[in-house]
């Protein structure tokens, strides 16, 4: 997450514009379909901006962000973060005019997509299902649908020329003078009120490696015409939604050809769902299936990687769900662990690779358990520090490991008060967190020596557990590479 104070100040001015005239049906769509995805604060920001528009108008008066903070009773950081959510879902476009350090924003509201488009979107509908559950989803689908007209009805509607007489061409030409043409035209600086423009969910091209995808198809007889802009957009969405790699998507695309050797979009979606269900069962995809975005990964150029570099690469190229599965020896994670991770990704907005570091760190320090309070406390700290990459997360964990250990010990102390017989587990550190404390004073040296002796057995056990964990991750990647190689040779 970008630092909001670099982008936005309370004194910065803004105006609200609507792309099209918003209607009552839009309010219902936003309230019932988008709010579960946005959260109450994001929904509140959209409705507040909408409220600044005059009824059935496209522009608001200019105001400051301080005024917006007062109305919403929120700080600037929250407003900025919720604004990004609206942008991500296609409900808001932001424009900036910066002259001599004086910033003026235009927030252009986008009308939400129609219910029929939402429930057939392929991304939004699945996220909504995952968020509200089956019963509520079916209730919403029924609310936004109605009965079809019964079959057998014959249309008898008259056309325009059946009802109105045509105007004689001579009269029409005589009246179309220059002044009339100007009256019929709209001034350049104005636009007509309209209601058709809708929000559009955009996924950047960096979310899918089309170069690798087309390289895999180079020896396959599929016409380039099959990959229209619409098909490529669907491929991006499906890849993002289900976590499908470019190599796997090649096979899905090949199985989605129709009799004319063109891509059948509905068949493409079905094939992607079948692939996901084969990988993960019937559970719908969520944020925990995402992988670290390509721009936030570490570039790997060396053939020989150190143990730490290999670990970083693996944490960047695996989803949190699959990481939890892998460290459990192939056993799928339980719903409570997935809920903890998804809460972190939604509330703290951490990237998938950063979440993997968090899982790795917490599991090593809490005997392979995910504790909600401990996870959320560290995640909140990483959010405040604007951590986006795996390397940044590992470096910060190394820098702050004493503080994190203190948090863990505070939790252990609370348990000790409940049961005096409960032994306090000595906390160990992985290699990438270990460092010699050269600043230890002489008077603390005896205590440190005593502690090292006392922890020797625990350290041996910890190293054994850590080696098993690392080997599990490596085994998973080796298996995936082997499968990919076999597919390429098919």
What's the pLDDT tens digit per position in 320-369? 888 888 877 777 787 778 878 877 876 677 888 898 899 888 887 777 77
* Rounded average pLDDT over 171-190: 57
| Same-domain status, 232 and 316 | no
Kindly indicate the confidence band of residue 422, based on its pLDDT and cuts at 50, 70 and 90.
very low
Give the CATH number for residue 75.
Answer: 1.10.10
What residues have CB less than 8 Å from 253, skipping those under 6 apart? 213, 217, 222, 235, 263, 268
Q: Is 24 exposed, middle or buried (0-12, 13-18, 19+ CB in 10 A)?
A: exposed
Whole-angstrom CA distances from 464 to 433, 458, 461 are 16, 10, 5
Token pair for 253: 């695309």
Nearest alpha-carbon partner for 113 in 51, 179, 201: 201
482 assigned to some structural domain: no
Residue 168: predicted pLDDT: 52
305 touches 313 (CB < 8 A): yes
* Rounded average pLDDT over 279-286: 65
**Is residue 408 within a helix (H) or strand (E), and if so which, with residue range?**
helix 390-418
Mode of pairing for the β-strands spanning 92-99 and 102-109? antiparallel
Whole-angstrom CA distances from 112 to 29, 131, 136, 289, 484 are 7, 18, 20, 26, 40
456 assigned to some structural domain: yes
Q: DSSP 3-state assignment of 404?
A: helix
| Same-domain status, 331 and 450 | yes
Higher pLDDT, 135 or 282: 135
Whole-angstrom CA distances from 407 to 59, 85, 108, 177, 411 are 50, 31, 44, 81, 6
Q: Is 159 exposed, middle or buried (0-12, 13-18, 19+ CB in 10 A)?
A: exposed
Lowest mean pLDDT among 206-215, 228-237, 444-453: 444-453
55 touches 61 (CB < 8 A): no
Tokens 């960096």 found at: 206
* Rounded average pLDDT over 225-250: 82
Token pair for 272: 């992607």
Residue 104: predicted pLDDT: 92
| Same-domain status, 341 and 242 | no
Separation of alpha carbons 230 and 122, rounded Å: 13
Whole-angstrom CA distances from 394 to 295, 389, 400, 487 are 18, 9, 10, 34
How much of the chain exceeds pLDDT 90, in percent? 13
* Rounded average pLDDT over 170-186: 55
* Rounded average pLDDT over 5-31: 88
Residue 174 has pLDDT above 60, yes or no: no
Tokens 């790795």 found at: 360
Q: Is 198 left (phi over 0), alpha (psi -120 to 50) or beta?
A: beta
| Same-domain status, 346 and 418 | yes
Residue 59 has pLDDT above 60, yes or no: yes
Token pair for 394: 């590992």
pTM of this structure: 0.49
Tokens 């290999």 found at: 310
Domain boundary, last residue among 236, 259, 285: 285
| Same-domain status, 227 and 357 | no
238 assigned to some structural domain: yes
Token pair for 273: 């769902």
Residue 455: predicted pLDDT: 47
87 assigned to some structural domain: yes
How much of the chain exceeds pLDDT 70, in percent? 68
228 assigned to some structural domain: yes
Residue 65: predicted pLDDT: 92
382 assigned to some structural domain: yes
Return mean pLDDT, the chain: 76
Residue 412: predicted pLDDT: 57
Residue 411 has pLDDT above 80, yes or no: no
| Same-domain status, 331 and 222 | no
What residues have CB less than 8 Å from 394, skipping those under 6 apart? 308, 312, 357, 432
Question: What's 137's DSSP letter?
Answer: H
The domain total for the chain is 3
Domain boundary, last residue among 225, 259, 285: 285
404 touches 378 (CB < 8 A): yes
Residue 311: predicted pLDDT: 83
Residue 239: predicted pLDDT: 81
Separation of alpha carbons 344 and 370, rounded Å: 12
Residue 130: predicted pLDDT: 83
46 assigned to some structural domain: yes
Kindly indicate the confidence band of residue 153, based on its pLDDT and cuts at 50, 70 and 90.
confident
Higher pLDDT, 179 or 357: 357
Residue 301 has pLDDT above 70, yes or no: no
Separation of alpha carbons 353 and 364, rounded Å: 17
Nearest alpha-carbon partner for 123 in 185, 55, 203: 203
Residue 416: predicted pLDDT: 53
Separation of alpha carbons 127 and 38, rounded Å: 11
Tokens 């959209």 found at: 46
Question: What's 235's DSSP letter?
Answer: H
361 touches 348 (CB < 8 A): no
| Same-domain status, 100 and 248 | no
Tokens 């998507």 found at: 249
Residue 425 has pLDDT above 50, yes or no: no
* Rounded average pLDDT over 129-141: 88
| Same-domain status, 280 and 311 | no
Residue 437 has pLDDT above 50, yes or no: no
Residue 27: predicted pLDDT: 92
137 assigned to some structural domain: no
Other C-beta atoms closer than 10 Å to the C-beta of 411 total 15
Tokens 């670290």 found at: 292
Domain boundary, last residue among 258, 285, 312: 285
Other C-beta atoms closer than 10 Å to the C-beta of 118 total 21
Q: What is the pLDDT of residues 113-127, one digit of tens each?
A: 888 888 888 788 888
Residue 470: predicted pLDDT: 66
* Rounded average pLDDT over 164-189: 56
Residue 457: predicted pLDDT: 54
| Same-domain status, 342 and 463 | yes
Q: Give the structural domain span for 410.
A: 298-436+444-474
Burial call 443-470: b when 16+ CB within 10 Å, e when fewer: eeeeeeeeeeeeeeeeeeebeeebeebb
46 touches 83 (CB < 8 A): no
Kindly indicate the confidence band of residue 229, based on its pLDDT and cuts at 50, 70 and 90.
confident
Question: What's 257's DSSP letter?
Answer: B
Q: DSSP 3-state assignment of 64?
A: strand
| Same-domain status, 273 and 331 | no
Q: DSSP 3-state assignment of 107?
A: strand
Burial call 49-84: b when 16+ CB within 10 Å, e when fewer: bbebbeeeebebeeeebeebeeebebebebbbbbbb
| Same-domain status, 258 and 339 | no
Kindly indicate the confidence band of residue 383, based on its pLDDT and cuts at 50, 70 and 90.
confident
Residue 316: predicted pLDDT: 86
| Same-domain status, 216 and 334 | no
Kindly indicate the confidence band of residue 106, based on its pLDDT and cuts at 50, 70 and 90.
very high
């Amino acid at each position: 997450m970008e630092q909001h104070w670099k982008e936005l100040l309370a004194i910065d001015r803004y105006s609200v514009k609507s792309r099209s005239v918003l209607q009552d049906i839009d309010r219902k769509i936003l309230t019932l379909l988008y709010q579960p995805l946005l959260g109450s604060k994001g929904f509140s920001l959209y409705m507040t901006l909408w409220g600044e528009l005059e009824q059935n108008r496209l522009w608001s008066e200019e105001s400051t962000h301080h005024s917006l903070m007062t109305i919403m009773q929120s700080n600037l950081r929250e407003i900025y973060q919720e604004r990004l959510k609206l942008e991500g879902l296609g409900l808001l476009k932001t424009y900036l005019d910066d002259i001599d350090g004086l910033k003026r924003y235009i927030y252009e509201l986008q009308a939400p997509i129609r219910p029929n488009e939402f429930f057939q979107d392929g991304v939004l509908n699945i996220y909504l299902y995952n968020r509200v559950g089956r019963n509520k989803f079916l209730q919403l689908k029924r609310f936004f649908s109605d009965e079809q007209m019964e079959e057998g009805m014959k249309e008898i509607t008259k056309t325009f020329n059946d009802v109105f007489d045509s105007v004689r061409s001579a009269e029409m030409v005589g009246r179309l003078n220059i002044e009339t043409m100007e009256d019929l035209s709209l001034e350049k600086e104005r636009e007509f009120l309209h209601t058709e423009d809708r929000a559009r969910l955009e996924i950047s091209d960096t979310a899918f490696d089309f170069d690798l995808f087309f390289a895999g198809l180079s020896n396959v007889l599929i016409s380039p015409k099959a990959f229209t802009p619409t098909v490529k957009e669907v491929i991006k969405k499906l890849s993002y939604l289900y976590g499908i790699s470019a190599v796997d998507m090649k096979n899905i695309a090949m199985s989605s050809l129709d009799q004319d050797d063109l891509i059948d979009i509905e068949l493409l979606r079905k094939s992607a769902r079948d692939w996901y269900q084969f990988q993960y069962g019937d559970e719908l995809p969520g944020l925990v299936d995402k992988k670290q975005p390509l721009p936030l990964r570490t570039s790997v150029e060396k053939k020989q990687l150190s143990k730490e570099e290999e670990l970083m690469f693996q944490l960047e190229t695996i989803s949190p769900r699959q990481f939890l599965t892998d460290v459990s020896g192939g056993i799928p994670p339980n719903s409570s662990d997935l809920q903890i991770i998804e809460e972190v990704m939604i509330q703290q907005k951490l990237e998938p690779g950063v979440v993997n570091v968090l899982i790795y760190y917490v599991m090593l320090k809490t005997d392979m358990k995910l504790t909600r309070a401990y996870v959320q406390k560290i995640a909140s700290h990483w959010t405040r520090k604007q951590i986006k990459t795996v390397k940044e997360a590992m470096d910060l964990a190394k820098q702050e490991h004493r503080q994190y250990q203190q948090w863990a010990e505070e939790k252990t102390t609370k348990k000790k008060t409940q049961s005096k017989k409960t032994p306090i587990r000595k906390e160990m550190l992985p290699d990438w967190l270990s460092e010699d404390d050269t600043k230890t004073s002489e008077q603390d040296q005896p205590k440190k020596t005593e502690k090292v002796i006392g922890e020797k057995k625990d350290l041996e056990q910890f190293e054994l557990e850590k080696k098993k964990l690392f080997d599990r991750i490596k085994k998973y990647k080796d298996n995936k590479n082997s499968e990919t190689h076999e597919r390429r040779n098919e």
